Amino acid sequence: MSYEYTGKHLVAGEWVATEKQFSSAPAHGPVRQFSVGSADLVDRAVKAAEAAFETYGYSSREQRAAFLEAIAEEIDARGDDITEIAMQETGLPQARLVGERGRTTGQLKLFASHIRKGEYLDKRHDAALPDRQPLPRPEIFLVQRPIGPVGVFGASNFPLAFSAAGGDTASALAAGCPVVVKGHDAHPGTGEIVAAAIDAAIKRTGMHPGVFSLIQGGSFEVGTALVKHPLIRAVGFTGSLRGGKALFDLCAQRPEPIPFFGELGSVNPMFMLPEAMSNRGEALAKGWVGSLTMGAGQFCTNPGIVVTLAGADSDAFVETAKLALADVQPQTMLTEGIANAYRDGAKKFAAADGVKTLLTSTCDLRNATPYLFATTGQEWLSNHALGEEVFGPLGMIVTVSDFDEMVSVARSLEGQLTCTLHLDAGDAELGKKLVPILERKAGRLLANGFPTGVEVCDAMVHGGPYPASTNFGATSVGTMAIRRFLRPVSYQNLPHGLLPEDLQ
């Protein structure tokens, strides 16, 4: 490894140490020491971000696009070191992390291309009508403008794509908003080296150093200080419902409330329609197992729930899934805390009334092996807790007595990131009845696929009604994510020379 870790925070272009330290907890490899952040450091970083906004918020789209591309290039230049430290800290395999780095740099480049096109600005112009009766109309322009400094929380399960230079940071920087990142304690070394790449891109492109800061450790104090700082204009978060709800409430309770764009969790139910089950039930069961256990089930789009009609096809599906899950080998989870929560979730389901344990396993330390449970539609509808997310490779099969009960299960769902229909041609009429229900429940509807794997593109929505996310009109993946950090401004009768550059 060629990179030498400092264990410091990056605050407005300066690497800053603090006296208090915390130790990393890698899955393997050396334990490293990192400085613990503080409210004072947050204040320093946010004030620097506000100072940077005076220029960065009025920079050209070309300047910001070049900056985003420079970040991608600097990350790739450190690619081997990033992969090595991320493997040590998270236990994720090399191929997964190389792919995630490609996704991270790819979305930086995608936002560069997106802002160059300029369509996101939604420019509008109503010409003056001085002779209109009974009153003349003034000339009015409209354009989307950046909101100011943004706070971003790194995610545990994506050390690159949803962390220091992840989608929240990329979309905020593309919009013209400086960013202060609260790094995740699960992968501080990965966060530091990515911050070093961003710092190099700042220097290379001549940006104000306050455009990006990374503060490590001090989870509660730092997180609270960040969301409550009066100069922060919005917050991006990916994580647990409990942690996200607490931050969401803090944002709402500020003297000047701000938007909290939290992606909080989902069980991503799949509805198996009868003809599809009859024609290809075995393949569906194996496909579900592959998606459920991918990455030790540590994806926010992990399909934890299957809803199927009672009968021989459902019974065969269950047996195939059970056999396939039994062959899955232990996988390392991201942190000991996540592994403990996974085991606790499995115990809760095993003890629940009306739930049958189909496959149990022994997992210790940071290892995860699958669990499989089954219940009826009636039990599901009577026990809200059965719809709560368990982060990991845990599956629940809900067997309903008829299609009407399947519809009732669909109606009972809380907000989801995804809902999936598996259907063949003969299932079309049943599908038509479910789609209007499910589109009110989720940000993304799938047919005959599996939700793990979120394409980074113009048409993607990664969000959904609460509790999947705190703002169902937004997405944290795809180019529409930039809208979170913009606001429309109208300019009435301003001399053209005073208009923003994008309206010149």
Query: Residue 111 in contact with residue 168, Cβ under 8 Å?
Result: no
Query: Residue 401 in contact with residue 427, Cβ under 8 Å?
Result: no
Calpha distance 263→269 (Å, rounded): 17
Options 69, 84, 251, 300, the catalytic residue: 300
Strands (E), 379-460: 394-400, 416-422, 442-447
- DSSP label at residue 350: H
Calpha distance 159→17 (Å, rounded): 22
Calpha distance 253→268 (Å, rounded): 30
Per-residue CA distances from 266 to 218, 287, 454 (Å): 27, 19, 14
Q: Who contacts 70 (Cβ-Cβ below 8 Å, separation ≥6)?
A: 200, 201, 204, 205
Question: Angle 79-90/188-205 helices, nearest 10 degrees?
Answer: 160
List 126's β-bridge partners, or say none.
140
**300 is annotated as an active-site residue:** yes
Options 263, 363, 389, 405, the catalytic residue: 263
Query: Residue 326 in contact with residue 362, Cβ under 8 Å?
Result: no
Identity at 465, one-letter amino acid code: P
User: What would you report as the CA-atom Rg of the chain, rounded to the nearest whole angstrom?
Assistant: 24
Tokens found for residue 92: 């994720």
Tokens found for residue 497: 């020379």
Phi, psi torsion values for 279, nearest 5 degrees: -80, -35
Query: Residue 232 in contact with residue 256, Cβ under 8 Å?
Result: no
**363 is annotated as an active-site residue:** no
By three-state DSSP, how is residue 70 classified? helix
- Residue among 181, 149, 169 at smallest CA distance from 51: 149
For the chain, how long is the longest CA-to-CA vector? 80
Query: Residues with catalytic annotation?
Result: 263, 300
